[in-house]
Structure formats: structure tokens, C-alpha cells
Amino acid sequence: MAKSVIFFCIVALGFFGIVYAFDPSPLQDFCVADFTSTVRINGLPCKDPATVVADDFFFRGFDAAGNTSNPYGSSVIPMNVARVPGLNTLGLTVARLDFLPSGFIPPHLHPRGSEILTVLEGSIEVGFVTTYPNYKHYSKVLERGDAFVVPVGLVHYQRNVADGNAVVFGIVNSQNAGINVVSNAVFGAKPAICSQFLSNAFQLDKKTVEELQAKFSI
């Protein structure tokens, strides 16, 4: 009995340790990313603090909507470490999300970051799904001024449910939260996952699977 409890704990710890990762805490005031360094560490190496300038912490570009002319009718403008080197090691990313009427962001997850979504304009539905065995779907329609939390690692989506455009700000607690779009990971894998296998796994005919693979292998 005790042995199986210990085994379960070890398995559970291993599982959570792999799936739920958080950015480490900084050990200095800042570590502005040095993109020229060839050193490979967890994150990016710091440039000499003597060469750091205010622009290393500055971003301009949240004033206008991004390009929503795509099949999703949505766009994401990220303020991340790639654009703002001063964000390195701080465990933060912000993004402006724009949605056309009926625009959406397809089901996806961030392996390394929880998210807060705040609606500035319009009205969107946000939903996330818990893990096995419950797969419970929590969703909410957010209006202007509302905010919603999406816990790290859970599959979630956003979709415009009003007639006008929507503007949303998303904050994640990682400098590199990662994004895994479910449809692309399954049907767009390169090289492709065996279509007969996906047909069995998803209980769809092989032709439908091949159509999905053609659509999502970009």
C-alpha cells in the first residue's frame, strides 16, 4: 500500500515536473538579452549592463490592430524577449490580440505559462479544458473590462461572439510560454503522422484525415 502511494507520488511529480514548467527567478536587477552571443543557456545570456539603454525595455506597436486577413480572422502582436531584450529572465510576455467578427484563435496550449486575458473592446468567449480524466470545459463570455485566467498547460481557445471587432490583451508569466496548436500538432506534424493510424485514433475515415493533413501541414 505504502509502496504504491510512493510510486504514485513519484509518477505524479515526474508528470507535473515535465508538463508545468515556470521561468526561474532572476539573480540580478536585469539581464538584457545579448542576441549576438553564441552561448546556449536556459534563456539568453546577458549583455554588459554598462551598454544597457532605455530602449532595451521599450516597445511601440500596440496602438493599431494587427493583420487579421487570415483564415482565423485574428492576429497576435507579441511584446516578447525577441522584440524587447530587457524582458529576458523576467518571466513575462504581453500580446495584443485582434479579432474580426467571428474571428478566433484555435484550440492551443502554452506549455510554460499561465495567461490572463483582458478585453479592451468587443466581446469574446474564452474557454479551457482540464486534463484527463475529467476534461471539464470552463468557458465565459467576456465583455469590455473583463479578465479571465487560463492555467498553464491547458488547452484553450478564444473566439469573437459579437458583431464588431474585439481587442484583447494577453499576459503570460513566461518569456517563452510556447504555443502548441492542437490541429497543427496532430495533423500538421512534419514528417506526417501515419494517416491510417490517425484514422484509427480519431475514428475518422482516412480520406478525412488526409484532407486535414493537407490543410494543416504548412
Compare residues 49 and 61 and give the one whose CB is closer to ligand NAG.
61
The verdict on whether residue 137 carries a ligand-binding annotation is: no
CB neighbours (10 Å) of residue 33?
Answer: 22
The verdict on whether residue 210 carries a ligand-binding annotation is: no
Q: Does 51 bind ligand NAG (CB under 6 A)?
A: no
The interface region with ligand NAG, picked from 5-13, 62-70, 84-92, 114-122 by CB under 6 A, is 62-70
Q: Does 42 bind ligand NAG (CB under 6 A)?
A: no
In the complex, least distance from residue 206 CB atom to ligand NAG, rounded to whole angstroms: 31
Residue 4's alpha-carbon distances to 1, 12, 99, 152, in angstroms, are 5, 12, 49, 28
The interface region with ligand NAG, picked from 66-74, 80-88, 131-139, 166-174 by CB under 6 A, is 66-74
**Interatomic CA distance for residues 171 and 108, integer angstroms:** 16
**DSSP letters along 49-91, please?**
GGG--GGGG-----SS-----STTSEEEEEE-TTT-GGGTTS-
Burial 191-206 (b: 16+ CB within 10 A, else e): eebebeebbeeeeeee
The residue at minimum Cβ distance from ligand NAG is: 67
Compare residues 71 and 145 and give the one whose CB is closer to ligand NAG.
71
Among 25, 42, 51, 67, the residue binding ligand NAG under the rule CB under 6 A is 67
Among 69, 71, 134, 135, the residue binding ligand NAG under the rule CB under 6 A is 69
In the complex, least distance from residue 66 CB atom to ligand NAG, rounded to whole angstroms: 9
Residue 150's alpha-carbon distances to 13, 32, 81, 200, in angstroms, are 22, 28, 21, 31
CB 172 within 8 A of CB 93: yes
Interaction residues for ligand NAG, span 95-114 (CB under 6 A): none
H-run or E-run covering 10: helix 2-19
Q: Does 4 bind ligand NAG (CB under 6 A)?
A: no
The verdict on whether residue 108 carries a ligand-binding annotation is: yes
Indicate the annotated binding residues: 108, 110, 115, 156
Q: Could you list the residues that contact ligand NAG (CB under 6 A)?
A: 67, 69-70
